[in-house]
Amino acid sequence: MLGRITAIMVKEFIELWRDKSGRIRLVLIPVLQMLAFGYAATFDVAHVSTIVLDTDASQESRDLVARFTASQRLDVVAIATQEADIVAAANAGLATVGLVIRAGFARDLRSGHGARIQVIVDGTNSNSALIALGYIGTIVARYSQDEADDFAGRLGGAAAARPVTVTLEQRPWFNPGLNDRWFFIPGVIGTVTLVLIVNLTAFAVVREREVGTLEQLMVTPIRPAELIAGKTLPFLVVGFVQVALVVAVGTLWFGVPFVGNPLVLAGGTLLFLLSTLALGLLISTTCTTQQQAFATNFIVLNPIFVLSGFAFPIASMPKVLQWLTYLNPLRHFLVVIRGTFLKGVGLDVLWPQFLAMGAIAAVLLTASILRFRKALE
């Protein structure tokens, strides 16, 4: 029994090492994901290209435009002479924001009735547009406040007339710098192991089916349970090595703090890996060629990725999809990862996630083993 499992495991490791594309998958996927999410992925919106149409051309309008120019977030890239220029710039993608200050702006302001400006935003990328609008709102609010103070001062009311204000004191917990990298890098542990382990497991089985060695194995005295154990245990080991690798690079190279208990993360990893192994096995039972397996992996892994909270907040999803995410092992694993990395919480907080992952792994493993045995017969 143990001899047969060992024989398969040894063979599996040799094949994994000899297979050039397998080795590339093993190293390249984690490295690329780390680079992509460590350096490229950020929610920050900076240097929003802005075009300005100022038909008022007053001291006040120039002051407002200067505040846009001075902002780190917005870059005034062009001055328009007519509204058509803004349309053209938006169509060509040269400007994301158009600021329109019409004639009469300064006059209205001085009258004390308040003045209007118009902001046009290219909403193609809704997220960036929303954030840019936030920046503009802040700039305009400050300008408005300053103008109001100035107006009140000139009327002679001075400090007494100044309205009461509320000051917001911000102190983000767990990630004081609101560093996107701290959010993404721990998540990469989940996505890398998901993609890699599902792929490796599915391909390891489908390859044998395609080449014909699976049939050869079936006429040996090996039992299905031994075959499944021998074919999945190596990838459990590979999974743990991958996780260790990503944790090491994330903390040592990208400086993401790890404040929790490594054993809690290891326990969560084990439960998650069992789900990914089962998923790979399940996919392998539906495919006869490696090409099919590749396509199926793509179809299956994409929703898991999107519905995990890795990048898109689950709270913003429609209710039905939110319920669906509870069936997603990656969703729970990400909570465990981020909880251990950034918050340092333990099983007292994370037990629901452990329970959910354990249940998902049990269901997936049972289904995959039953299907696998059936596929062998």
Partner 1 sequence: MSTGEPDAIVVDGLVKRFGAFVAVDHVSFAVAPGEIMGFLGPNGAGKSTIIRILCGLFAPTEGHVRVSGIDVATDPEGVRARIGYMSQKFSLYRDLTVLENLTFFAGIYGVRRRARAERIGYAVEMAGLGGREGQRVATLSGGWQQRLALGCAILHRPRILFLDEPTSGVEPMARRRFWDLIHALAEDGVSVLVSTHYMDEAEYCDRVALINHGRLVAVDTPGALKRAGGGRPLFVIEPADLGAALAALAGAAGIASASVYGGTLHVAAADPHYDAADLAALFAERGVEPGRIEPTAPSLEDVFVDLVASDTRTGGRAA
CB-based contacts of 366, cutoff 8 Å, min separation 6: none
> The tokens 């793509």 sit on which residue?
298
Residue 116 tokens, joined = 């209007």
* 139 versus 205: smaller Cβ distance to partner 1: 205
Contact between 223 and partner 1 (CB under 8 A)? yes
- Selected from 219, 299, 315, 320, the binder of partner 1 by CB under 8 A is 219
Contact between 21 and partner 1 (CB under 8 A)? no
Integer-rounded Cα radius of gyration of the chain: 29
Stretch touching partner 1 by CB under 8 A, among 6-14, 39-47, 101-109, 329-337: 6-14
Contact between 7 and partner 1 (CB under 8 A)? yes
Distances (CA, A) of 54 to 78, 95, 109, 133, 137: 11, 16, 15, 19, 18
- Selected from 133, 222, 229, 347, the binder of partner 1 by CB under 8 A is 222
- Measured CA to CA, the distance from residue 194 to residue 173 in angstroms comes to 29
Contact between 218 and partner 1 (CB under 8 A)? yes
- Selected from 220, 313, 319, 320, the binder of partner 1 by CB under 8 A is 220
Contact between 11 and partner 1 (CB under 8 A)? yes
Residues shown for the chain: 377
Contact between 288 and partner 1 (CB under 8 A)? no
Instruction: Annotate each residue in 176-215 with x if it binds partner 1 (CB under 8 A) or - if it does not, as one string.
Output: -----------------------------------xxx-x
Stretch touching partner 1 by CB under 8 A, among 12-20, 112-120, 191-199, 237-245: 12-20
> The tokens 């702006």 sit on which residue?
105
* 155 versus 218: smaller Cβ distance to partner 1: 218
* 224 versus 344: smaller Cβ distance to partner 1: 224
**Segment (H or E) for 347:** helix 347-376
Residue 164 tokens, joined = 């009461």
- Measured CA to CA, the distance from residue 8 to residue 10 in angstroms comes to 5
Stretch touching partner 1 by CB under 8 A, among 175-183, 219-227, 237-245, 266-274: 219-227
- Measured CA to CA, the distance from residue 313 to residue 325 in angstroms comes to 11
- Measured CA to CA, the distance from residue 136 to residue 142 in angstroms comes to 10
Using CB under 8 A, list all residues that contact partner 1: 3-4, 6-8, 10-11, 14-15, 18-19, 211-213, 215-223, 377
